[in-house]
Amino acid sequence: MAQAQAQDTRSAAARRAGTAPARRILRADVPRRLIERLLEPTDVRINGTRPWDIQVHDPSMYQRALRDGSLGFGEAYMAGAWDSEQLDETFARVLRHDLDEALNHAAKLHFALRWLQERVRNRQSPARAFTVGERHYDIGNDVYLAMLDPTMSYSCGYWAAADTLEAAQLAKLRLICRKLELTPGQRLLDIGCGWGGLAAYAAEHHGVEVVGITVSRNQASLARERCKDLPVDIRLMDYRDLPKQVGGRFERIVSVGMFEHVGARNYPAYFDVARQLLADEGLFLLHTIGNSRTVAVSDAWVDAYIFPNGKIPSAREIVRTLEGRFVIEDWHNFGLDYDPTLMAWWRRFDAAWPELRAHYDDVFYRMWKYYLHASAGFFRSRQGQLWQLVLAKRTRPRAYRSVR
């Protein structure tokens, strides 16, 4: 009897030993199956054969994505854990179904911590105003000189009648100036002037005097050089310091691609500064990326590696703040034009990489590729918008005629 019991015990132990590896495999497979389930409605498959399918090289990608949401997903790509032959289309399909939101909700702890940070601190406070300049725009003018068109426009082009990046950016500058109804002798304030492309164009072609501000030292230096023979004053400063450091009134104000760094809790201060500086009959053009929905937190990967402390506004957030401050004379959406703009930037960056790689490593290359392709997918999915608002005070007596 004892011998039979011992045999049964050994048999049971053998069965457990034989099934333990299988159990471990099943447990390790759970993250992959969860990711596959999230991807089902997007028609993006793991290790599929279509160009937009995800090819996984390191299974740790699944756990990283579930633990850290979009941050882990992006970091896994930077580390070479996965690839996609057509990365922009992968993101277009994923974002069309708002999978970014689903992934971040799956990473509950990470999402909760970011939500709490948004509530307890002002991530775009004056003390942090120059962070994005230092960490993004100051990485090196060589990257931007290689990637951008000759006007150095780092914002969406206008492709309605354009077939090249330079033509689209020149069309955008002409469109802005027409919407602002610029005439010689006017004073134009450019909030977030970048490398001075719009300031130079407006001064040269419309005879206006321009004050441009930026939080990037590299931008300010190159913008001053590019505008040195024009009536353009480039200053390194935060928009909140404009009333004290610049003052006066401007017949026109423009802000292109800068509002995304302001932050929702600072929108009242931003629009109050613009209202204080705008002449009673003036016009203010706001050019900004928009989100088709209001989100509680910014994308974690973009915040960590591309635009620290950024926040893409929704229409509701903008309108709510404008009420009682400005009249909306015109609202123009051409968000789909950002897709070809970003893909043109990618082609130029990729072509210049053999020269750029002397100063940047391969991780930077994958980071920049991910940034540009994910952004293209964001706009192709229509989650991303590009808005130009023409604003005025109620004191402006003349009707505004929309321009396209």
Structure token pair of residue 256: 């292109």
Question: Is 12 domain-assigned?
Answer: no
Question: Is 6 domain-assigned?
Answer: no
Last residue of one domain, picked from the residues 120, 148, 169: 120
Report the Cα 188 to chain-centroid distance in Å.
26
Domain match, 339 and 315 both: yes
Domain carrying residue 62: 20-120
Q: How far apart are CA 19 and CA 17, in angstroms?
A: 6
Domain match, 116 and 134 both: no
Question: Is 7 domain-assigned?
Answer: no
Domain match, 175 and 201 both: yes
Domain match, 27 and 137 both: no
Domain match, 239 and 329 both: yes
Domain match, 165 and 107 both: no
For residue 382, count other CB atoms closer than 10 A to its CB: 13
Q: How far apart are CA 35 and CA 69, in angstroms?
A: 11
Q: Is residue 92 classed as helix, strand or coil in its secondary structure? A: helix
pLDDT at 119: 56
pLDDT at 111: 52
Domain match, 176 and 283 both: yes
Question: Is 59 domain-assigned?
Answer: yes
Domain match, 53 and 147 both: no
Domain match, 241 and 112 both: no
Report yes or no: 211 and 193 within 8 Å, Cβ to Cβ. Answer: no
Is the pTM here over 0.75, yes or no? Answer: yes
Structure token pair of residue 132: 């994005």
Packing angle of the helix pair 2-39, 60-68 (nearest 10 deg): 60
pLDDT at 14: 44
Residue labelled with tokens 């610029």: 182
Last residue of one domain, picked from the residues 93, 120, 147: 120
Q: List, for the chain, all residue ranges whose pLDDT scores fall below the cut of 70.
A: 1-28, 104-121, 123
Question: Is 91 domain-assigned?
Answer: yes
Question: Is 10 domain-assigned?
Answer: no
Non-local CB neighbours of 206 within 8 Å, separated by 6+ positions:
177, 182, 183, 184, 186
Structure token pair of residue 359: 């100063």
Last residue of one domain, picked from the residues 120, 154, 189: 120
Report yes or no: 281 and 193 within 8 Å, Cβ to Cβ. Answer: no
Domain match, 209 and 112 both: no
Q: How far apart are CA 366 and CA 163, in angstroms?
A: 27
Each residue's pLDDT tens digit, 146-174: 999 999 999 999 999 999 999 999 999 99
Question: Is 403 domain-assigned?
Answer: no
Q: How long, in residues, is the chain?
A: 404
Report yes or no: 285 and 222 within 8 Å, Cβ to Cβ. Answer: no
Structure token pair of residue 233: 């004053």
Domain match, 64 and 145 both: no
**Residue among 399, 369, 393 at smallest CA distance from 147:** 369
In 190-337, where does DSSP find H-type helix? 197-206, 217-226, 242-245, 267-277, 300-305, 315-322
CATH of the domain at 170: 3.40.50.150
Question: Is 369 domain-assigned?
Answer: yes
Residue labelled with tokens 């926040």: 311
Domain match, 284 and 374 both: yes
**C-alpha distance across the termini of the chain, in Å:** 94
Pairing of strands 250-256, 187-191: parallel
pLDDT at 99: 85
Each residue's pLDDT tens digit, 289-339: 999 999 888 899 999 999 999 999 999 999 999 999 999 999 999 999 999
Domain count, the chain: 2
